[in-house]
């Protein structure tokens, strides 16, 4: 997936408040989320293409990914987690753990009314979540009103687009097989 886009991105609800984002067409790279009190939390990033052969599960509630409410006059927040457990992406065996951590840089949310995605999605009222990672890379996530995640982009520290994906009209909550470690 690196260096080019994908239109295989799929969201799947697998519990009352649990979601899985399948990023690879063969189901080998996924992220899981929990919508909880106060926000949305990433609970895992799984698959061999995720972190150079490692997968990770976030401990506790997970990585604080997006507040449950965002005010225009206060659009920034600090992503934090209670530690992460690394797993071998092939065997799913533990390979170490890190302590709790908060991001060096604040994340922000931009309001994008009437954002034009083009293709079959068209114009949707949206927000754009922008994360500057500790290594200087930037990730952007586009969420459409009543549509969920519609696009994401990853830029290196030099500002060059290195990866992206978009939702293109898959059937919502239609299960497809995944080939990763067990979701938390």
CB 18 within 8 A of CB 33: yes
What is the model's pLDDT at position 3? 39
Q: For residues 49 and 37, is the Cβ–Cβ distance under 8 A?
A: no
DSSP state at residue 183: P
**In terms of Cα–Cα distance, which of 72, 10, 63, 11 is closest to 41?**
63
pTM score above 0.85? no
CB atoms under 10 Å from CB of 33, counted, come to 22
pLDDT of residue 174: 58
Per-residue pLDDT of the chain (184 residues; tens, 9 = 90+): 333 455 556 777 777 888 887 777 667 778 889 988 889 999 988 876 655 667 889 999 999 999 988 888 889 999 999 999 998 877 888 889 999 999 999 999 999 999 998 877 889 999 999 999 999 999 999 998 888 888 889 999 999 998 887 876 555 555 566 666 776 6
Q: Are the CB atoms for 60 and 34 separated by under 8 Å?
A: no
């Amino acid at each position: 997936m690196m260096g080019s886009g994908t239109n295989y991105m799929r969201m799947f609800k697998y519990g009352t408040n649990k979601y899985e984002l399948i990023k690879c067409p063969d189901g080998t790279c996924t992220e899981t989320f929990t919508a909880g009190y106060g926000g949305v939390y990433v609970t895992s990033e799984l698959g061999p293409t995720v972190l150079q052969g490692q997968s990770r599960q976030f401990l506790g509630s997970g990585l604080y990914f997006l507040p449950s409410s965002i005010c225009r006059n206060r659009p920034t927040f600090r992503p934090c987690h209670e530690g992460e457990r690394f797993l071998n992406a092939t065997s799913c065996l533990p390979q170490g753990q890190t302590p709790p951590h908060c991001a060096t840089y604040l994340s922000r949310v931009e309001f994008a009314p009437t954002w034009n995605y083009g293709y079959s999605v068209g114009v949707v009222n949206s927000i754009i979540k922008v994360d500057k990672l500790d290594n200087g890379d930037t990730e952007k996530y586009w969420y459409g009103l009543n549509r969920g995640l519609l696009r994401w982009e990853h830029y290196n520290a030099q500002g060059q687009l290195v990866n992206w994906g978009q939702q293109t009209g898959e059937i919502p909550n239609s299960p497809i097989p995944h080939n990763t470690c067990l979701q938390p």
